[in-house]
Amino acid sequence: MNHSGAIGVFDSGVGGLSVLHHVRQILPNERLIYIADSGHVPYGDKSPAYIEARSLTLTRYLLSQGADAIVIACNTATAAAAHALRVKYNKFPIIGMEPAVKPAVAATKSGVVGVLATVGTLESARFAALLEKYAGHVKIVTQGCPGLVEQVERGHLTEADTRRLIERYAAPLLVQGADTIILGCTHYAFLAPLIREVVGADITLVDTGEAVARQVQRRIQIELPHRLSAGAKVEFFTSGDTEQASRIISGLWGEAVSVLQLPQEFL
């Protein structure tokens, strides 16, 4: 039986918009529902149990709104909650994020790859497994980046204080010879131009947004073959302040949008 569905996307805040951009480019006729969980940002300093609980709550809301595929547009939430979501909602494609270790290892010429990520991502078993599987003889240098997510949430993409944070976090990677840097948080994609200025033109920056969007396309085609498009539309929700979310998301999305508050039981 044919049915119409939507693609639900969530992140701790606005970083997942970088993934949503790619999903809309690849699947322009889809109805997209995005949740910025800005009332609980950042996830990077929360416990895995807390993040799993939030992820289950947000997924439940997205499914209630007609989503039949879920994108966890957050590396930290993927590490903490992807398994639980796939167990509980095993009839739906659940697509997560992970730092792009494999393509970065393939790209490096110096044999050193740097990773900028949240502490939660770097401490996760999922990230450790990625390193064991793909790192091989390449040296992986990791750097937690407290404060960067909050800068993106404020819309501070080019400010001096954001540059200072990037300079501080990039320096250890460059000193150890990294010629390839993984942007291990979806928020950091919005800082890529500033990161590029700081690290220079010779450093390869690796992001995973487009690869994730193509995975969404593949999973829908394979697992939901009789699905019909619900029509091109993007809806935005937040668990935080709607006025601030509307301002920040409009700027990052590239057009004026209205962001709605999640119902009380999902806050």
Q: Whole-angstrom Cα distance, residue 83 to residue 157?
A: 33
Dihedral class, residue 36 (left if φ above 0, else alpha if ψ from -120 to 50, else beta): beta
145 is catalytic: no
Amino acid at 245: A
Catalytic member of 185, 195, 199, 234: 185
**Entry field: residues in the chain:** 267
Q: Where are the alpha helices (DSSP H) in 108-255?
A: 119-122, 125-134, 148-153, 160-175, 192-199, 209-223, 242-253
Catalytic member of 58, 72, 73, 74: 74
Q: What angle do CA 169, 170, 175 make, to 5 degrees?
A: 120
Residues annotated catalytic, as ranges: 74, 185
